[in-house]
């Protein structure tokens, strides 16, 4: 994969983020990181292919914080002035409802219909309470999407067709695909539609095995698509609780020091911040911008080379 070393003018993407619910309207200073946190480098190669960047937020293991990370990374990117589309790829629709967007009704156009029939996806797009964040909602008819894609004979390419139409609109800098926890054709097709992935894990005895299976899925899907430019941007260790027992500490250390995948951040359990923000239909960076919880998600954006530090 060719990485682009980009020298950007002082735009919103390279400036310090605007903090709070009025992210695209105000230019408040970024609160300082905890003194014990590693400080981001001032000069990095941005992971940014030309045009809209598409990232799959994934792990075939459930309950690791994929949707929470997707919503709140979108909030962090929006603070930096980036225009973000959250593509809810899970029929449960938690990324949709978590941003206070209504799921399609029984007579409405759905994501599954758009993917299978190669229709225009723009009518699906819904605005959130954050000006820079929009959502392409999930729908219940996506529960059988993997089987329906298989029946087409070209299912691996159909999400790419929809995503290419979204790219062509030029309305977003980033598309984050919130994947369901599965190793199926629909998640393969979403990966093939992406430029790269961020893998969420938790501190659990099955985490390393789950991580291996997820990476194997990436390699298999890219081989079928004849692509060699897909990049795992890094992993995020979620739901961290300290102090840890000896076993959890051993798993945690393995994840933090993974030999081939960089750990971007760890997200401690912060139920109050996350739940209160979700109740407002906002990412934590907009609802509680001065908390350390918000800073954790900014670190993902910085260390993943998704934005450039000021």
Q: What is the pLDDT of residues 257-287, one digit of tens each?
A: 999 999 999 998 887 999 999 999 999 999 9
Residue 2 lies in a domain: no
Please give the residue that has the higher pLDDT: either 133 or 44: 133
Confidence of residue 9 (pLDDT cuts 50, 70, 90): very low
Provide the edge-to-edge strand list for the sheet that holds 53-58. 126-127, 133-136, 84-89, 174-179, 53-58, 196-202, 231-240, 263-268
CATH code of residue 72: 3.40.50.300
N- to C-terminal Cα distance for the chain? 26
- Of 133, 90, 137, residue with least CA distance to 111: 137
What's residue 45's pLDDT? 60
Confidence of residue 28 (pLDDT cuts 50, 70, 90): very low
Q: For 69-73, what is the mean pLDDT?
A: 97
Residue 12 lies in a domain: no
What's residue 51's pLDDT? 82
In 80-154, alpha helices (H): 94-98, 111-117, 145-152
Residue 3 lies in a domain: no
Percent helix / strand / coil, the chain, rounded to 5: 40, 15, 45
Confidence of residue 231 (pLDDT cuts 50, 70, 90): very high
Q: For 112-127, what is the mean pLDDT?
A: 98
What's residue 81's pLDDT? 94
The Cα-based distances of 281 to 68, 154, 205 in angstroms read: 12, 36, 33
Residue 283 lies in a domain: yes
Q: Are strands 196-202 and 231-240 parallel, antiparallel or unpaired?
A: parallel
Please check the confidence at residue 15 and state whether its pLDDT lies above 70: no
Residue 264 lies in a domain: yes
Structural domain count, the chain:
1
Please check the confidence at residue 30 and state whether its pLDDT lies above 50: no
Confidence of residue 48 (pLDDT cuts 50, 70, 90): low
Residue 210 lies in a domain: yes
Please check the confidence at residue 21 and state whether its pLDDT lies above 70: no
236 SS3 class: strand
Confidence of residue 25 (pLDDT cuts 50, 70, 90): very low
Question: pLDDT digits over 130-180, tens only?
Answer: 999 999 999 999 999 999 999 999 999 999 999 999 999 999 999 999 999
Q: For 304-310, what is the mean pLDDT?
A: 86
Please check the confidence at residue 17 and state whether its pLDDT lies above 90: no
Please check the confidence at residue 43 and state whether its pLDDT lies above 50: no
Residue 5 lies in a domain: no
Please check the confidence at residue 24 and state whether its pLDDT lies above 90: no
Name the most confidently modeled range: 28-37, 81-90, 209-218. Answer: 81-90
Question: For 152-308, where are the E strands, in sequence order?
Answer: 174-179, 196-202, 231-240, 263-268
Confidence of residue 308 (pLDDT cuts 50, 70, 90): confident
Residue 31 lies in a domain: no
Please give the residue that has the higher pLDDT: either 264 or 30: 264
Name the residue range of residue 73's domain.
Answer: 53-303
What's residue 88's pLDDT? 98
């Amino acid at each position: 994969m060719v990485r682009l070393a980009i020298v950007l003018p002082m735009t919103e993407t390279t400036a310090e983020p605007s903090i709070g619910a009025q992210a695209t309207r105000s230019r408040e200073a970024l609160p300082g990181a905890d003194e014990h946190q590693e400080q981001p480098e001032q000069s990095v190669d941005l992971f940014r292919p030309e045009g809209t960047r598409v990232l799959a937020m994934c792990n075939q293991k459930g309950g690791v914080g994929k949707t929470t990370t997707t919503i709140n990374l979108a909030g962090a990117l929006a603070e930096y002035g980036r225009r973000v589309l959250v593509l809810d790829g899970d029929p449960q629709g938690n990324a949709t409802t978590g941003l206070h967007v209504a799921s399609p009704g029984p007579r409405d156009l759905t994501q599954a219909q758009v993917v299978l029939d190669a229709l225009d996806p723009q009518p699906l797009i819904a605005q959130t309470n954050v000006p820079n964040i929009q959502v392409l909602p999930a729908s219940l008819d996506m529960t059988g999407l993997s089987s329906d894609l298989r029946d087409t004979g070209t299912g691996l390419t159909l999400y790419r067709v929809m995503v290419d139409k979204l790219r062509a609109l030029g309305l977003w800098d980033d598309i984050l695909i919130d994947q369901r926890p599965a190793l199926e054709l629909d998640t393969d097709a979403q990966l093939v539609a992406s430029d790269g992935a961020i893998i969420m894990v938790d501190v659990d005895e099955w985490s390393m095995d789950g991580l291996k299976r997820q990476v194997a899925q990436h390699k298999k899907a890219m081989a079928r698509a004849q692509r060699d430019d897909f990049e795992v941007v890094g992993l995020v260790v979620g739901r961290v609780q300290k102090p840890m027992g000896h076993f959890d500490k051993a798993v945690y250390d393995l994840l933090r020091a993974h030999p081939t995948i960089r750990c971007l951040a760890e997200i401690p359990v912060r139920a109050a911040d996350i739940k209160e923000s979700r109740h407002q239909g906002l990412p934590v960076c907009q609802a509680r911008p001065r908390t350390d919880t918000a800073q954790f998600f900014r670190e993902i954006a910085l260390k993943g080379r998704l934005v450039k530090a000021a």
